[in-house]
Amino acid sequence: MRNTLKAATLEAKFPLLAVEHDCILSKDADITVAFEVELPELYTVTGAEYEAIHAAWCKAIKVLPDYSIVHKQDWFVCEQYRPELQKDDMSFLSRSFERHFNERPYLKHTCFLYLTKTTKERSRQQSNFNTLCRGHIVPKEIRDKDAAAKFIEATEQFERIMNDSGFIRLRRLMSDEITGSATEAGLIEKYFSLSPENTACLQDIALAPDEMRIGDNLSLIHI
């Protein structure tokens, strides 16, 4: 007897349901707000500044409601350095510095932050606790419009606290930046292609116990 693999669509496996009002909605009725994060340069922060950054994170996290998830995601992509030699106001040393690193490989870093509002039911979700064991499919907390509005207000306060610290800059991603537009690829499309560039080409996805490959790109995940 020959074993055959059942084909499944990517839409059926992907946990996201929709993107509305600049928020990501999951199939479990979770609400997520996404930010692009600008971090300070490496080796430029003193000990006192590290303490201030840590205090800002703690203060910002405390304003989030219960059962919230804070997920910081860092993308490191190996690229070749492209100097900016077209500027007219560059000095001789600056131009020599740019030429010195021309086409040298480096890791391009991009950081994202996701704030997710879950429910008490999600914290105790197991394989034997599914929608058949509940009296309603959508959690009561999510159906409460006031709870969703309070979460959005908390994320805005979170953003203000981090930006006021002066060390970390948060910028909320809009719907077009998440799903993409007719001219530019969105965050979801870049996620599927393992590339931060504007790519509109879907490639084969191979999932194995030891690696994940999309086209010719390999993904290394550190948790």
In a domain, 187, yes or no: no
Confidence (pTM): 0.77
Q: Is 77 strand, coil or helix?
A: strand
**pLDDT of 187 above 50:** yes
Q: What residues make up the domain containing 73?
A: 10-179
pLDDT value at position 23?
Answer: 93
> What are the tens digits of pLDDT across the range 121-176?
665 555 444 544 444 455 555 567 788 899 999 999 999 999 999 999 999 999 99
160 domain-assigned = yes
Q: Half-sphere exposure of 11 toward its Cβ, with a 13 Å CA cutoff?
A: 2
Dihedral (CA of 97, 98, 100, 105) sign:
positive
User: Strands (DSSP E) along the chain, which ranges?
Assistant: 16-20, 23-26, 31-38, 68-80, 105-117, 169-172, 205-207, 212-214, 217-219
Residue 196 lies inside a defined structural domain of this protein: no
Q: How many domains does the chain have?
A: 1
| 78-94 mean pLDDT | 81
Residue 223 lies in a domain: no
Question: Nearest Cα to 155, choosing from 20, 25, 33, 2?
Answer: 33
Rounded Cα distance, 205 and 213, in Å = 6
Strand bridging mode 169-172 / 68-80: unpaired
In a domain, 66, yes or no: yes
- In tens, the pLDDT along 20-46 reads 999 999 888 899 999 999 999 888 889
Which amino acid is located at 150 in the chain? K
pLDDT tier at 86 (50, 70, 90 boundaries)?
confident
Instruction: Report residue 202's pLDDT band, with 50, 70 and 90 as the boundaries.
Output: low
What is the identity of the amino acid at 27? Answer: K
In this predicted structure, which of 114-118, 121-125, 162-166, 192-196 has the lowest mean pLDDT? 121-125
